[in-house]
Chains A and B, each alone.
Chain A
Amino acid sequence: MPPMNTKRDGAPSQESSSFALPVVSDRPAAAPDAVGEALEHAAANADSAEHGYGQSYWRSLEEKLGTSEYMEESRPEFPVGADLPPTGFIRREFMQLLGASLALAGATACSTRPADEKLLPYTKTPPEVTPGNPLHYASAMTLSGHTSGLLITAREGRPVKVEGNPDHPVNQGAACTFEQAWLLSLYDPSRARVLRQGKTPRAQRVLNETIASLVGKSASENGGSRVRFLTEAVGSPLTSDLRNHIIKKLPNARFHSASSNQDTQAETLRTLFGGQHVAALYDFSQADIVLSLDADFLESCPGNLRNIREFADRRDPRKGKLNRLYMAEARFSITGGMADHRLRLKSQEVLGLAAAVAQAIGGSAASLAGAAAAKSPLRGELGNWVQAVASDLRAAGPGRSLVIAGERQPAAVHALAHAINNALGNGDKTVRYIQAPIAEATGMSEVRTLVQDIEAGRVDTLVITAYNPVFTLPDDVGLGKVLSKDHPARARLNVLYTALYEDETSAHVDWFIPAAHPLETWGDGRSVEGTVSIAQPLIQPLFNGMPESELLAMFLDEPFRPAYQLLRDYWRGQTANAADFEARWESWVAQGFIENTASNPVAGSPDFGAAASLVAGYTPPASGDLELNFVNDYKVYDGRFANNSWLQELPEPITKMVWDNAALLGPDTAKALNLAPGDMAELTYNGQKLTVPVWVVPGHADNTVTIALGYGRNGLHEQVAKGVGFNVNPIRTSKNPWFDGGATLTKVRGSYKFSLTQTHWRMENRPIALDMPISELEHPSTETQHTLHRVKGELKPGIQDNLVDFDYSKGYKWGMAIDLSRCTGCSACVVACQAENNIPVVGKEQVGRSREMNWLRIDRYFEGPENDPKMVMQPVMCVHCEKAPCEYVCPVNATVHSDEGLNDMVYNRCVGTRYCSNNCPYKVRRFNYLHYTAGKTATEKMLMNPDVTVRNRGVMEKCTYCVQRIERARIDARVNKHLIKEADLKTACQQTCAAQAIVFGSLNDENQLVTQLTEDVRAYKLLHELGTRPRTSHLIRVRNPNTALEPAKAATKEGSH
């Protein structure tokens, strides 16, 4: 039996050499006839047969260019190797083994009764538990200082699904990719289990005694002046209280807050508000015009969910006038994909752009702009853009626009953004300044101070609770160096480190303390807008982890209190009236947060005079050669989710790459450097060299290269993360941690095989993901009318009704509507589906053969010129055709229709012919080529949703519209004798979508939102002309371009071929 393929396979094609696999890159250079074929292909695609749809869409650069490589790959419908038998598993051997086991079975199977199963009752059933029914508990997750409110589903004590807490002000029911996939790490068998000193396992008591003696000694000797703590940014009231108590005990000890993010926004606001800790909150619901200066505010991050919801509401023509988003950025981001006008430029040019806009706006902004413009001159050709944006911002009126700067940008850009907002009168309207939930300086400079102290021999004891700082920080910060065995200062240093995994940092420490997963312990934290969440555990620690709060409490040298006690004691102390604490505490824990704890507005207004120093203090990075950009990854963040196979296998929203990072380039730059996707190149930067694989992304700014952080992990036991991608932190510097010029890329020998979900299952130049300017929808041109006719026209009887009609007018008629205007493509729904439906992870090699199992995919289309295209995201899952092509080809009736219009998949009938998948025009069916769920450890099995079958090898599967949720809601409703209410039934993808792009319900109820959306003017059915009558509608995405920059109709034919 092959092991579960959660592991990336480094050399997929070579491994299967016994099957004489044709490897594209090994072929000789394209022969003349291949070129001719490519031209023919391009010509065929450009022919008039399809030209009526206005725009032509393409899903990958190879497809767009019709290159010979692309031709090679596209000639067979499926990628190379898709039809091969599984490797490492020889069929003949399998038959032999099968024969042997059958013989043995024959010898023993005298009874057909399966082996006895045991039923284990509770000794005393907990009062809240009804075995078989799920329970929901409010809890919380903290990521980069923001604590979000979650609602976690538990089945008989096992947490199985993370959703957003519907009552939490930021989440409002939604959850991002990280929050959901976080649950997988709870059950991760590679988590650390052993508390050790050096290589010797120790009891917790020994640790406790060691710390107690250390605290006692250093308190009396020097007040703890030789003790340092390195923590994450502390948003938790309990942790800051513990910190204050430790400082009382050890007055000279120092706390440093590490962060892989240089928090320039906080730094800027501190300067603007005279040293106060201030945070800015944005209100996208009021902003008609938004200018984003490299701010990826729609990224699927816990703190962004409110942004996403408010922004999406402003993209929906049903909710009134559309907003307009201008975006200036280097790489193509999720937010860039939502922009009406996206400007590609180097990250270092953003300052110049901000300055030009500030100058054009005038007022308080203009004074800063002069100095900034000198540091980053603006290219002349961008003047037009700046003028258009500035006049649009002004025209919106006071308090109706918003300028937002990205976290990768220096403080100078943030200062300009705030100044422009101030000049536009956005203060207190679309921008609100509140007291920061994290009231401390954080960032690399803090770590740098610590390293200097260590180097100078001023530190004896270092306690690290921050996430893996040796890996996440640039090497030149020097933490890894001072912690390594041969550093002279290391000998006298005693390092304690607590983490979930034995990672890069743990290799250097003296004491390693396995941490309790936050879902195993009590805690608290504050959200971006200040609301305090109480995090309760869902399960006892699985691997003997110790909560961070208990570890810190050891330094108080007090009698042991468990995390629960610490938290309760702290909050009891915060409650004025101790008498009603018990009742309040119960309600806080039950609802998951403490109401009315949002941060107060800041008194006073920003002082832009002080901001001049930020601009003056800014040193522009080198501008020559390539600009090297570093970004936190959409999937593994700074590396902390690298051991999470759900996220590793999640297609990156833009590149659709899985299990890898790459040096991303724009097409023109790649051409100039003679680099093609999959080439290896040597990256030279700052005197250092790194060999990296290259990938080309349309729309990436010229002369820039973007590399995601968090890959190339080398932790001791992080089995999933190990060796996936490459690590750029060794060449990153703390001076310019996010972008810097002066890098070069040179092609070197070798190629790299990426696995992408992108080019599989193309939709061949048909009107699939529609988008158009809102004006075009209101006054359609002939071309648009043609398109609309094709996707919405009447179906011809006798031709497009190949199955008998069924009367669906009674009862429920399930249907779904997906609004492409709202969808950002953030992929939270993909993770939700994976968690809800027990979808296996298959590994890089299998994805390379188009065997990914995600039921829900997000297709990302580009349109327009490949250097500067627009992007459309389109979630596609089974559309539940009323006349489903899959059904009439199944020889065993394993996929059949339900009376409510569901296209049911019956796993136990399926024999794996795959005819259904061949006949499905939407390519939404997934086949278990291997037994992907075999070899799960006992803890991993606990994660499975017991309401959904865990599929075996050789079975077809696909989206069921979450039929298990329908049936549960139905039974609940029928037991209570009412109809299923719209609010009581949500599919997993719909439930988690912050943008509310997915709506599900019964089309027989005209009051349900799904019915209204299905009848909306924008609604259309995918591949309508086939007559499959899908139950899922997609809603045309509308754009709101500025006519000054994009005259109506200008873009319709551009770039098609």
Chain B
Amino acid sequence: MSRLSAAALLAVPAIGIGGLMAYVRSPYVTNQQMPIEQPIEFDHRHHAGDEKIDCQYCHWSVDKAPSAGIPSTTVCMSCHAQVWNKSPYLTEVRKAFFADSPIQWVRVHNLPDFVYFNHAIHVNKGVGCASCHGRIDQMGAVEQFAPLTMAWCLECHRNPEPHLRPSEFITSMTWTPPSDKAEAIALGEKLKDEYDVHSRTSCSTCHR
């Protein structure tokens, strides 16, 4: 009995702490799996999925700037002046365009202000869009796919090889590494050399 209660006494804080640790890593806290409602019902399933528009058509600065960029309203209108140009879904887009007032999109991936993430270097070194953003082509409303915790970042920064893909498949939503394990490892090694990928884990890599 006393042994049991001693075990219980030890277990309660252990479970408590463990529970808290599990909690802060849970999607509930990291804000994963929470589709965010946007002012306009923009559907990536249609654009990226059905129409197979390349990510970089709209997010064109992804390979040359820290930010992937939110497409300007002109980019929307470059197609929608021709197609669906009377659709009620797009009223707000047309309004914003003609009023020259920005559409107020809601941010989905929000890193803390002391983290400086740079899209350009990742995309240029063989990290694909889907690696961090998931199957955007299957999301009606975009949700955060990865936990975006520091542990998650470091997982790849410490060992980037398994997360690299050939640059021609950077924006591919369906690319998967070779199913053969040895082949996959070899590809990772090859790409790491080819793209000169460094494993950078110094604090100032991301925190300035």
Interface size on B, residues (CB 8 A): 45
Measured CB to CB, the nearest residue on chain B to A965 is: B208
Query: Which of A112, A113, A124, A963 touches B204 (beta carbons < 8 Å)?
Result: A963
Interface residues of A in 97-146 (CB under 8 A from B): 112-114, 116-125, 130-133
Q: How far is the CA of A897 from the CA of B70 in the complex (A)?
A: 36
Q: Does A220 contact B (CB under 8 A)?
A: no
B124 and A975 within 8 A (CB): yes
Chain A CB within 8 A of B81 CB: no
The winner among A132, A900, A907 for most chain B CB atoms within 10 A is A132
Contacts of A899 in B (CB 8 A): 200, 202
B203 touching A898, Cβ below 8 Å: yes
- From B47-55, B60-68, B130-138, the one touching the partner chain is B60-68
- Give the residues in chain B near A907, CB-CB below 8 Å: 114, 207
Distance in Å from the Cβ of A124 to the closest Cβ of chain B?
4
Tell me if A374 counts as interface (CB < 8 A to partner B).
Answer: no
CB distance from B60 to the nearest CB of A (A): 9
Instruction: Check A132 against B97 for contact (C-beta < 8 Å).
Output: no
Q: Which one of A113, A904, A977 lies within 8 Å of B196 (CB-CB)?
A: A977
Query: A975 near B121 (CB under 8 angstroms)?
Result: yes
A889 interface residue (CB < 8 Å to B): no
B29 within 8 A of partner (CB) = yes
Is the C-beta of A967 less than 8 angstroms from some C-beta in chain B?
A: yes
Q: Are B107 and A117 in contact (CB under 8 A)?
A: yes
Which residue of chain B has its CB nearest to the CB of A948?
B208
Query: Is residue B180 within 8 Å, beta carbon to beta carbon, of the partner chain?
Result: no
B174 interface contact, C-beta 8 A: no
* Chain A min CB distance to B15 (Å): 21
Min CB distance B123 to A, Å, is 9
Number of interface residues of A (CB under 8 A): 40
Instruction: Give Cα A897 to B208, complex, Å.
Output: 13
Q: Is the CB of A113 within 8 A of B105?
A: no
Q: Assess whether B208 is in contact with A963, with CB atoms less than 8 Å apart.
A: yes
Kindly state whether residue A382 has any CB partner on chain B within 8 Å.
no
Q: In the complex, what's the smallest C-beta–C-beta distance from A373 to chain B, in angstroms? A: 62
On chain B, the residues within 8 Å of A117 by CB distance are: 106-107, 110
Q: Is the CB of B28 within 8 A of A112?
A: yes
**A970 (CB) vs chain B CBs: closest residue:** B121
Q: Which residues of A contact B74 (CB under 8 A)?
A: 122-125
CB distance from B203 to the nearest CB of A (A): 4
Partner of B61, one of A131, A906, A949, A966: A131
Return the CB mask of B60-102 against A: 1 if under 8 Å, else 0. 0101111101111110000000000000000000001100111
Chain B residues with CB below 8 A from A906, complex form: 203, 207
Q: In the complex, what residue of chain A is closest to B125 when comparing beta carbons?
A: A974
> Across the two chains, which residue of chain B brings its CB closest to A949?
B114
Q: Are A116 and B116 in contact (CB under 8 A)?
A: no
Contact of A132 among B65, B102, B105, B204 (CB under 8 A): B65
Q: Give residues 106-158 of B contacting A (CB, 8 Å).
A: 106-107, 110, 112-114, 116, 118, 120-121, 124-125
**CB of A971 within 8 Å of the partner chain:** yes
A132 and B69: CB pair below 8 A?
yes
B34 within 8 A of A: yes
Once the chains bind, are A908 and B112 in contact (CB under 8 Å)? Answer: yes
**Does any Cβ of B come within 8 Å of A964's Cβ?**
yes
Contact of A123 among B73, B121, B124, B203 (CB under 8 A): B73
- The answer to whether B202 touches A898, judged by C-beta atoms less than 8 angstroms apart, is yes
**A787-B115 Cα distance, complex, nearest whole Å:** 45
**Known pairs A898-B204, A907-B207, A963-B204; A975 contacts B64 (CB<8 A):** yes
Nearest residue (CB) in A for B122 is: A971
Shortest distance from the beta carbon of A952 to any chain B beta carbon, whole Å: 9
Q: Is the CB of A121 within 8 A of B202?
A: no
Q: Residue on A with the closest CB to B61?
A: A130
Contacts of B65 in A (CB 8 A): 130-133
Beyond A908-B114, A974-B124, A977-B196, 10 extra complex contacts between A and B, CB < 8 Å: A113-B31, A114-B110, A118-B104, A119-B70, A120-B103, A121-B105, A123-B97, A898-B205, A949-B113, A967-B204
Seen from chain B, the residues whose Cβ lies within 8 Å of a Cβ on chain A are 28-29, 31, 34, 36, 61, 63-67, 69-74, 96-97, 100-107, 110, 112-114, 116, 118, 120-121, 124-125, 196, 200, 202-205, 207-208
